[in-house]
């Protein structure tokens, strides 16, 4: 059964990493040579959502922690680890929703209505 995970219907910001790298198969002057790769960081799911999945995205709260996470000068791995350790548990609220969310052809606010 699918779940909607939320925090007072607030937007959530996930911690992630990205990298640009050149495709060695393409010419130096090819505008499509640069590829973007990215990942969303996860950690063990807290008890509140652990029954849904064993992993949870790292949710970066608004304010100073988010500003620090988005700082392009933050490149030292030890400082990144310290910042990740300072991010609090997100306290997401899960509830079951319709399996209609599993189809990308479906779209609309009714998809996040509680099933019961």
Burial class (CB in 10 A: 0-12, 13-18, 19+), 84: middle
Q: Give the chain's domain count.
A: 1
Within a domain: 105: no
| Mean pLDDT value across residues 78-102 | 93
88 within a domain of the structure (yes/no): yes
Indicate the range of 9-13, 58-62, 74-78 predicted with least confidence. Answer: 9-13
Instruction: Identify the band that residue 52 occupies on the pLDDT scale cut at 50, 70 and 90.
Output: confident
Question: Cα 80 to chain center, whole Å?
Answer: 16
Is 90 exceeded by the pLDDT of residue 116? no
Is residue 14 a part of any domain in this protein? yes
Answer yes or no: is 90 within a domain: yes
* pLDDT of amino acid 26: 95
The domain spanning residue 29 has which CATH number? 3.90.1680.10
pLDDT tens by residue, 62-78: 999 999 999 999 999 99
**How much is the pTM?**
0.78
- Print the domain residue range for 83: 3-98
Per-residue DSSP letter, 88: P
Find the distance separating the first CA and the last CA of the chain, reported in whole Å.
12
Query: Does 87 map to a domain?
Result: yes
Is 58 among the domain residues? yes
Domain for residue 13, yes or no?
A: yes
Distance (Å, whole) CA 97 – CA 6: 12
pLDDT for 66: 96
Tokens coding 74: 């933050």
113 located within any domain: no
Contact between 59 and 88 (Cβ < 8 Å): no
């Amino acid at each position: 059964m699918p779940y909607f995970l939320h925090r007072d219907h607030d937007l959530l910001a996930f911690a992630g990493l990205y990298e640009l790298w050149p495709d060695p198969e393409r010419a130096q002057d090819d505008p499509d040579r640069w590829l973007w790769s990215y990942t969303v960081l996860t950690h063990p799911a807290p008890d509140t959502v652990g029954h849904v999945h064993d992993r949870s995205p790292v949710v970066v709260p608004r304010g100073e922690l988010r500003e620090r996470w988005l700082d392009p000068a933050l490149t030292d791995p030890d400082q990144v680890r310290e910042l990740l350790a300072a991010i609090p548990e997100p306290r997401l609220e899960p509830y079951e929703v319709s399996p209609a969310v599993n189809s990308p052809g479906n779209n609309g606010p009714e998809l996040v209505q509680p099933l019961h």
